[in-house]
């Protein structure tokens, strides 16, 4: 394998860097040295606090939780610091307190904190210690889910993707010595940081979770015992360690450690009778050490692209919570506040096999009581608060008003460059056969594979097939013209979930034809047996049954959530004239193949220096599929044609007074008007529109039912109503899949639209 690096930058490429979508490489961060537990304990917080003769202590006895010698009922909720901008941590925690929560549960994603092997990051949105200290200052306890596997609908279940590039491959979630050695190194950095924040040392952490729902995956007890020993080494013997598993005998048998060394908590379907499950829980804890705890009480559910947005009844959810709390049970709402999968960190699920692939939305709203944008003026928040108020030991704080949103209006964008015009300025890896993204060093986003083949006159064209592609590949061919340049022509798209060979049209060419395959990593599986989810082209590429060789793989450098570019994008954007060129020109209609080119579009809008910056949502109606950055922050993926998410949440801290730069990487078909809208409301109605389009293609002569799709939704999708004709009666097909939080709707029905 040969690795090359280009050192020159074309002016268009510099302009794109100016808009904040490119970075040359991941900026390497200084390694974090480990410090001793004693050293940290000397730095932080008062060490003890007396209450009726008891030292500051959180413990379990008589099948109850005890805090400072008094019985304590955990009324908690999951709120993940990595799904909320740090500027909003306090806002969301205060809203959680207003809901009546006394405890916050959060995961720790290894991949966020160690994006490259040996390169640790605990700054910005990854500043876990600051989040924990803030929780303490606000009087909120913390249940810390330290992993190393977390699931969480987060890329690779929180494992760093560079684990997938190691050869030989370590067996994740096992007692494989190669894997355990990596876990020891990671926890050797993480746990000494949080040890001074344990409750007994004056901090907010009352419990630390080992792994996550391991009983739904395996039964490697040696692995679990090793994690317990490692946690005790760094955290001491006083902290409560706990596991979480589904409330069945099978999962508890496989995922728990019997005895009193580790407390076994349970989760189960919302609405199930919790008390027989709590009785079962007692069998897996020592006598007197089993306070009833649902450590994931589901307030909603996740949503994948192409599904109807998940929603659950407020009254039903509140009644299920009351059934636990009224008999002194404890519960942790999953989620109290979902937040957002910014950047490329969304996870995915699989069904019966790894090709049955379902990536998660950018939004992680989860239909939680505190909505993605922090809103609490909703039926679910009110219903749950009424229940919690009946059992809270303290008066609940006043409910804050929703943060104001603002519709900043239209933004006209300019096409600033075609991806293929810029590839000579990207890092490139060469290999005889295509290799995975992780093996090239490209952990997220996109990788462009290019090879050549000899043109043949074989009448109907050639057949190209890629048996294993993760996750979505756009295929192009290019024939150099007389001037040495040939514009790539779109051939078709291969998708992991519906992979079919493509026909390449017969092309007369004076030299070899270039085959270009742009592969998008749409999020790694975070749950189940196929979690070892490498990305890119993972098999040979066949042309008419012949294997194509001699590949070049170009690393498309798009920033991820916790990366900082080396260049000031605002200064460069201000000095660049690119955005001002032809900003208001409408794209001319093109043929289907010619319009499928991946390209970059940029524009800007101003916020007056006198105005207070407010949250907004960027609507991508009329666009195809891609990502958006604003002021060099990766807002996330959009795919309105698939739905249901039509627009992306833009928190106010991303914006600034003055000029705000928006960059869109559109993979397929830009809005013909080259415009996006900043609106003041979320929108999850695109699934119906996408279904309508599909049905229209299958049944173009039938009349639409008004109840299914309306002129308003059509206008929102930038689809002329006259082009849509729907069947009068629409049928539905239900399918099932498994997710990490499987107890809710264990075979959850997903509506797929069919004719």
Which of 296, 372, 563, 668 is labelled catalytic? 296
Least Cα distance to 446 among 426, 467, 466 occurs for 426
The helix, strand and coil proportions of the chain, stated in percent and rounded to the nearest 5, come to: 25, 25, 50
Contacts of 240 by beta carbon, 8 Å cutoff, 6+ apart: 58, 59, 60, 206, 207, 208, 263
Paired with 450 in beta bridges are 516, 552
Element containing residue 518 per DSSP (H, E): strand 513-520
Q: Which SS3 state, helix, strand or coil, does residue 550 take? A: coil
Helix extents (H) in 549-647: 569-575
In the residue annotation, 296 being an active-site residue is answered as: yes
CA distances from 82 to 79, 93, 114, 362 (A): 9, 13, 13, 13
Q: β-strands 472-478, 513-520: how paired?
A: antiparallel
Nearest to 680 by CA among 718, 649, 637, 655: 649
Cβ(64)–Cβ(600) under 8 Å?
Answer: no
Q: What sign does the dihedral 224-227-228-229 (CA atoms) show?
A: positive
Is the bond preceding residue 210 a cis peptide, omega within 30 degrees?
no
Of 59, 114, 213, 563, the active-site residue reads 213
Between helices 177-194 and 221-235, what is the axis angle to 10°? 30
Secondary structure (H, E, C), 523-548: CCECCCCCCCCCCEECCCCEECCEEC
Q: Is 697 exposed, middle or buried (0-12, 13-18, 19+ CB in 10 A)?
A: exposed
User: Tokens in use for 323?
Assistant: 């059934």
Say if residues 596 and 490 touch (Cβ distance below 8 Å): yes
Are 477 and 512 in contact by the 8 Å Cβ rule? The answer is no
Residues with catalytic roles? 213, 296
């Amino acid at each position: 394998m040969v690795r090359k690096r280009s050192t020159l930058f074309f002016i268009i490429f510099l302009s794109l860097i100016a808009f904040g979508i490119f970075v040359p490489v991941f900026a390497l961060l200084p390694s974090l040295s480990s410090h001793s537990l004693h050293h940290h304990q000397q730095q932080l917080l008062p060490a003890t606090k007396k209450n009726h003769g008891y030292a500051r202590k959180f413990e379990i006895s008589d099948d109850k939780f005890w805090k400072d010698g008094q019985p304590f009922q955990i009324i908690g909720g999951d709120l993940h610091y990595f799904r909320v901008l740090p500027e909003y941590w306090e806002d969301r925690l205060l809203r959680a307190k207003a809901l009546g929560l006394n405890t916050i549960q959060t995961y720790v994603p290894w991949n966020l904190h160690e994006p490259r092997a040996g390169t640790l990051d605990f700054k910005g949105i990854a500043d876990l210690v600051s989040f924990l200290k803030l929780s303490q200052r606000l009087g909120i306890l913390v249940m810390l889910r330290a992993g190393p596997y977390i699931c969480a609908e987060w890329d690779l279940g929180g494992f760093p993707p560079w684990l997938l590039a190691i050869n030989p491959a370590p067996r994740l979630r096992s007692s494989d010595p190669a894997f355990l050695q990596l876990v020891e190194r990671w926890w050797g950095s993480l746990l000494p940081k949080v040890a001074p924040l344990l409750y007994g040392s004056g901090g907010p952490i009352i419990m630390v979770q080992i792994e996550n729902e391991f009983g739904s995956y395996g039964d490697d007890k040696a692995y679990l015992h090793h994690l317990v020993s490692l946690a005790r080494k760094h955290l001491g013997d006083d902290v409560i360690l706990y596991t979480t598993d589904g409330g069945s005998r099978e999962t508890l048998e496989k995922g728990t450690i019997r005895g009193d060394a580790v407390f076994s908590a349970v989760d189960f379907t919302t609405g199930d009778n919790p008390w027989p499950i709590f009785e079962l829980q007692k069998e897996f804890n020592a006598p007197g050490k089993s306070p009833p705890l649902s450590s994931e009480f589901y307030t909603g559910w996740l949503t994948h692209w192409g599904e109807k947005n998940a929603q659950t009844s407020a009254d039903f959810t509140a009644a299920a919570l009351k059934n636990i709390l009224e008999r002194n049970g404890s519960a942790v709402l999953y989620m109290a506040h979902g937040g957002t999968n910014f950047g490329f960190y969304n996870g995915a699920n699989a069904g019966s096999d790894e090709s049955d692939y379902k990536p998660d939305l950018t939004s992680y709203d989860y239909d939680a009581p505190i909505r993605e944008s922090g809103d609490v003026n909703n039926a679910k928040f009110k219903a749950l608060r009424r229940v919690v108020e009946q059992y809270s030991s303290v008066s609940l704080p006043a409910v804050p008003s929703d943060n104001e949103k603002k519709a900043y209006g239209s933004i006209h964008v300019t096409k600033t460059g075609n991806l293929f015009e810029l590839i000579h300025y990207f890092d490139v890896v060469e290999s005889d056969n295509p290799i995975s993204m992780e093996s090239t060093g490209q952990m997220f986003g996109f990788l462009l594979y290019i090879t050549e083949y000899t043109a043949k006159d074989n009448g109907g064209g050639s057949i190209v097939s890629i048996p294993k592609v993760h996750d979505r590949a756009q295929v192009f061919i290019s024939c150099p013209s007389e001037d040495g340049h040939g514009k790539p022509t779109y051939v078709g798209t291969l998708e992991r979930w519906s992979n079919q060979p493509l026909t390449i049209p017969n092309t007369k060419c004076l030299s070899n034809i270039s085959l270009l395959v742009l592969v998008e990593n749409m999020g790694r599986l975070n749950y189940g047996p196929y979690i070892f989810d490498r990305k890119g082209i993972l098999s040979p590429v066949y042309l008419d049954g012949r294997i194509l060789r001699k590949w070049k793989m170009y690393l498309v450098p798009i920033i991820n959530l916790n990366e900082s570019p080396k260049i000031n994008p605002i200064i460069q954007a201000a000095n660049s004239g690119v955005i001002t060129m032809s900003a208001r020109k409408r794209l001319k209609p093109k043929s289907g193949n010619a319009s499928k080119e991946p390209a970059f579009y940029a524009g800007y809008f101003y916020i007056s220096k006198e105005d207070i910056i407010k949250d907004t949502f960027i609507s991508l109606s009329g666009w195809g599929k891609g990502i958006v950055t604003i002021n060099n922050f990766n807002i996330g993926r959009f795919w309105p044609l698939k739905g249901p998410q039509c627009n992306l949440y833009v928190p106010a801290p991303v914006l600034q007074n003055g000029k705000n730069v928006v960059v869109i990487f559109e993979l397929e078909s830009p809005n013909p008007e080259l415009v996006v809208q900043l609106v003041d409301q979320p929108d999850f109605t695109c699934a119906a529109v996408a279904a309508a389009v599909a049905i229209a293609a299958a049944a173009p002569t039938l009349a639409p039912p008004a109840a299914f799709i309306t002129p308003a939704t059509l206008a929102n999708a930038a689809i002329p109503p006259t082009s849509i004709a729907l069947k009068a009666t629409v049928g539905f097909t239900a399918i099932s899949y498994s997710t990490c939080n499987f107890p809710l709707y264990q075979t959850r029905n997903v509506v797929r639209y069919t004719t």
